[in-house]
Amino acid sequence: MENLRQAVERARGHQKQQDRESPRQQARQVLGDAHESRERTQEVELDSAHLQSHRIVAYDGKDLRSRSFDMLRTEILQSMGQRGWKTLAVTSPTPDCGKTFIAVNLALSMARQPEGQVFLADLDLRKPHVATCLGLKGKEGVVGVIEGRVELLGATVEARIGDSRLDILPTVPASNSSDMVCSSAMRMLLEEITGRSQSRIVILDLPPLLTGHDAISILPQVDCVLLVAAVGTTKVSEIKECNKYLDGTDVVRFVLNKVPESATTYAYY
């Protein structure tokens, strides 16, 4: 009988302790290690051969092809630093201008810098390409976070190659991309991405401006834009039309991609 009385008292004491705990604390006790593991960022070593096959070269500072991205990096970081900007959107007038190619190489160039902190998110929910460029597989990323199946940390990949590290938030295509980008869940996701650290640069690979309102919906939440056009693809009239949508957004740089290589070469001695 005494043992039964002691058991009842212990149970009462445990119940009082639970009553004093917040619902979040109780939930963490119930979820335990499973909850913690779901929030852990996955680490991935990028494959250099795969990157090279997709013309991703800026992870290697010794590669002469990375110099143009390093110059672009320096100019953009100087402009952003002068104004205290942290969030850069990369977009183009239409598809096939190479915006993802520019965004990924620029992110890797920034990540090579000492103490450089970079977060690259693929917000082109119609035709995402970041995961393909980097060789990442099996990640729902943005779509999974917005639909509540995964935490932001669990959806993020810490990618590394050589001495460079950067955080990647990939995505899979979404059939209802227009609804997703306008949702409160997307707004909260962007607030969490941009608010996690004041020292890191956030690069958002947006959809093309003229293919729908997806990119236009996100522009008010970014500091500045890098507009990518392409020789043989982009028309002057399309660039002028983009200016209407970018009227209230700071365009930090304009990149003309797919320019034929010049016969003239420059060397530094």
Residues 133-180 pLDDT 10s:
999 988 899 999 999 999 999 999 999 998 789 999 999 999 899 999
Contact 121, 159 (CB under 8 A): no
Identify the helix (H) or strand (E) that includes residue 157. Answer: strand 157-161
> What is the per-residue pLDDT for 162?
84
On average, the pLDDT of the chain sits at 85
* Residue 222 DSSP label: -
> What is the per-residue pLDDT for 40?
66
Could you tell me how far CA 118 lies from the centroid of its own chain?
9
> What is the per-residue pLDDT for 33?
36
Spatial distance between the Cα atoms of 41 and 139, rounded to a whole number of angstroms: 12
Picking from 112, 3, 132, 129, the residue whose alpha carbon sits closest to that of residue 58 is 112
* 71-99 pLDDT tens trace: 999 999 999 999 999 999 999 999 999 99
* Residue 261 DSSP label: P
User: Could you tell me what percent of the chain has a pLDDT over 70?
Assistant: 82
3-class SS at 100?
A: helix
Question: How are beta strands 201-205 and 42-45 bridged, if at all?
Answer: unpaired
3-class SS at 128?
A: coil
> What is the per-residue pLDDT for 13?
53
Min mean pLDDT across 39-43, 217-221, 234-238 is at 39-43
